[in-house]
Structure 1
Amino acid sequence: MAQRLFLLSIVVCLITAGIAGTPEEAKGGAKIMPLREDSVILAFGDSLTYGTGAPKDKSYPSLLQRELKLKVINAGVPGELISEGALRLPGLLEEYMPSLVLICHGGNDILRGRADELIEKDLAAMAEMVKATPADLVIIGVPRPGLGLVVPDFYERVAERYEALYEGQILRKVLSRPELKSDLIHPNAKGYQLMAKALAQLIKSSQW
């Protein structure tokens, strides 16, 4: 009888531990695997990733590398459309085999007035590519230019669908402050620094 009670207590402890370890229960959001010293992060996107508006060493990937003390690849291409990015991404995933991918894309499509559902389709295709690898994913929401700087809902929808981390506020906050911008649609060095700090905090707080 005592042995049976002991075994039952172990089962209860294991079940309790499993519930506590569930990401949604513990943190209320997506989680990522712990990053190691040799982990590679792929920062993928357009001019916002490339660092237009600031010196190259002040782009958000460069600053994020300093924040995390991990290798961060800057895979930003100014002027790129998201459909073009979807064609470029597979080669980079194969080349670098990253542990974490950050996608900040779609801004040029928004500027051109492309339909949200088409941008969402390409963003989802890229998220699916990342999720087909061992890498975790962060999606960064890009706001529409103009008054209000609203981030389209599809960024968060895709993040939820593919269980990715989501940062939907930092670019909106940076681009709403003139002192943090180099022009209407790009941060300056100070803006990219705030972007890197926000992403570093998100990544650190969301590891298992």
Structure 2
Amino acid sequence: MKKLLCISLMLLLAACSDSERLSPLDNQQPILAFGDSLTYGYGAPKALSYPEQLSQLLNMEVINAGISGEKSKQGLQRLGALLDKYQPQLLLLCHGGNDVLKKQSLDKMKANLGQMIEMAQNRDIQVVLISVPEASLFLPNIKQYQELAEQYNIPLENNIIKEVLKKPSLHSDAVHPNAQGYRLVAEAIYELLEDNGALK
């Protein structure tokens, strides 16, 4: 019985350690950064958006597919064609901010993001999810992002947008980083990719 318990514990620990691992990235294949104004880089020169700065850090092509003002329902309608066009090896999904600001249903947002994740995974494209916080004083985390990460077994960057928006020196207005803020977003995503085995 004791031996069986030890084996079960070892299997559980192994499953936990592998639960959010990514396959190593190939610098010959693009990454698709998909989202709204936070991906587009509103509040900074386009060359200093987080996808552009991440591209420099990785020395890989990171396609900026952000559209300011887009809600998750519109993003869901747009994503499939971009996945087919660019055939990225990785989808960086940072969406839902406008749903939050416009007080749309967070469960509907979750369903839309879930379908986006499935679109990518059905094409054998890896996914990293980047959350936005609630639009209130202390910028609390939105549970739906964590639920999606657990449901689809994907890495989640759950803090960087919130941390940037807590510091006035790092944002251009109440909801958008400035160039320095986007740099920190890019660095946090780089670190997440490194921690999850995506960088050789």
Please give the TM-score of this superposition, normalised by the length of structure 1: 0.87
Amino acid at match of 1:143: P
Shift of 1:144: 1.6
In the TM superposition, what are the counterparts of 1:177-196 in structure 2 within 5 Å?
A: 177-196=167-186
- Aligned to 2:91, the other structure's residue is in SS state strand
Structure 2's unaligned 5+ residue stretches are 1-9
- Aligned to 1:196, the other structure's residue is in SS state helix
- Aligned to 1:161, the other structure's residue is in SS state helix
Deviations 1:150-193 (A, max 9, x none): 12100111111111110000000000100000000000000000
Question: Paired residue for 1:24?
Answer: 16
Number of equivalent positions: 190
Deviations 1:110-130 (A, max 9, x none): 111111111111111111111
Task: Work out whether 1:41 is the aligned partner of 2:31.
Answer: yes
Amino acid at match of 1:131: Q
Question: Paired residue for 2:7?
Answer: none
Structure 1's unaligned 5+ residue stretches are 1-17
Task: Work out whether 1:140 is the aligned partner of 2:138.
Answer: no
* CA radius of gyration, larger in: 1
Amino acid at match of 1:56: K
Distance 2:38 2:96 in 1: 10
Moved over 4 A (4+): 18-23
Shift of 1:205: 1.7
Distance 2:81 2:101 in 1: 26
Gap change, CA 1:72 and 1:89, over 3 Å in 2? same
Q: CA RMSD in A?
A: 1.9
- Aligned to 1:32, the other structure's residue is in SS state coil
Given that 1:19 and 1:25 are in contact with CA atoms closer than 8 Å, whether structure 2 keeps it comes out as: no
Question: Paired residue for 1:203?
Answer: 193
In the TM superposition, what are the counterparts of 1:44-193 in structure 2 within 5 Å?
A: 44-193=34-183
Given that 1:23 and 1:31 are in contact with CA atoms closer than 8 Å, whether structure 2 keeps it comes out as: no
Given that 1:144 and 1:152 are in contact with CA atoms closer than 8 Å, whether structure 2 keeps it comes out as: yes
Gap change, CA 1:60 and 1:97, over 3 Å in 2? same
Shift of 1:199: 0.2
Shift of 1:134: 1.4
Distance 1:115 1:207 in 2: 34
